[in-house]
Each structure stands twice: as structure tokens, then as C-alpha cells.
């Protein structure tokens, strides 16, 4: 046993934006040494998950107790520049629009001031047991408002 605790990476709110750090590992790259295109989606998903965690939304609890959670309905991504092995990236997340059962988020993947990719992601709040959209809880809606 060890006497120390190591916290996992977590992002932080910067104004109306959430920022999450990502490091590019060898496993993230393709044969050409650049980040494989699908991994940008994984980086963005991690940032959205940590965004919810920072808002004190426990996805596991919602899934287990309420059978609700967010699912991606659509995603538009623009690849502008390539990330490479060992790059330190920042993935941002901002709520652009919020509906009764959905939200549209704008995300950027940055290396310093350089924008590598932009994403627009629409998520739907679902009752996963019924596989139908359901109203986003009022407390969660209020937390999102700060990031609109």
C-alpha cells in the first residue's frame, strides 16, 4: 500500500468555458506519427465527461438510479491541424444552446493558441431504459446556464 493519493486529471472553468488537459500518447497516433482522426472524438468525449463531473453531475448515479444519461445525437468536426506524439492539448467545452431535452456544445482542441480541431456536438438527455428523450433536470439546467 502507498501513503499517497494521486488525483486523476480534471479540468477547470475559465469564464463561460470548461478546459480539460490531454497529453498525446503513442497509442493515440497512427503509422504517420500523427493523432488518428477518431481519437479527437475520444479527447472531446473525455472533456465533456469531466465538464459534467465539474458541475457535480454524477453520470453513473443518474444511470443506475434514474436510468438517464446523455447520448450524442450528432457531431460535426473540422480537422484544422495535426496533433503529434507528446503534444500537450487543451480541450474546451462551452454550452451553445440548451433545449428541454438537449444541448449543443462547442468544443475546440488546442495546442497552445493553435486550434487543431473544432466540434459542434448535440447531446440528448435520454431515458435509456425506454430509449426516449426526457427532460433535463432543472438543477442540471441551472448548472449549464453558467456556461451558456
Residues with catalytic roles? 30
Q: What angle do CA 22, 19, 125 make, to 5 degrees?
A: 100
State the Cα–Cα distance between residues 106 and 96, nearest whole angstrom: 6
Residues 6+ apart with CB under 8 A from 46: 20, 22, 91
CB 93 within 8 A of CB 108: no
Amino acid at each position: 500500500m502507498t501513503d499517497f493519493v494521486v488525483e486523476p486529471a480534471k479540468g477547470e472553468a475559465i469564464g463561460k468555458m470548461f478546459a480539460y488537459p490531454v497529453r498525446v500518447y503513442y497509442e493515440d497516433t497512427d503509422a504517420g506519427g500523427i493523432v488518428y482522426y477518431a481519437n479527437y472524438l475520444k479527447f472531446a468525449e473525455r472533456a465533456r465527461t469531466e465538464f459534467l463531473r465539474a458541475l457535480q453531475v454524477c453520470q453513473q448515479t443518474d444511470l443506475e438510479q434514474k436510468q438517464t444519461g446523455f447520448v450524442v445525437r450528432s457531431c460535426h468536426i473540422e480537422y484544422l491541424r495535426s496533433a503529434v506524439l507528446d503534444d500537450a492539448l487543451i480541450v474546451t467545452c462551452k454550452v451553445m444552446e440548451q433545449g428541454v431535452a438537449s444541448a449543443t456544445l462547442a468544443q475546440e482542441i488546442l495546442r497552445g493558441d493553435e486550434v487543431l480541431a473544432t466540434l459542434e456536438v448535440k447531446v440528448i438527455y435520454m431515458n435509456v431504459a425506454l430509449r426516449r428523450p426526457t427532460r433535463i433536470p432543472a438543477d442540471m439546467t441551472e448548472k449549464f446556464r453558467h456556461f451558456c
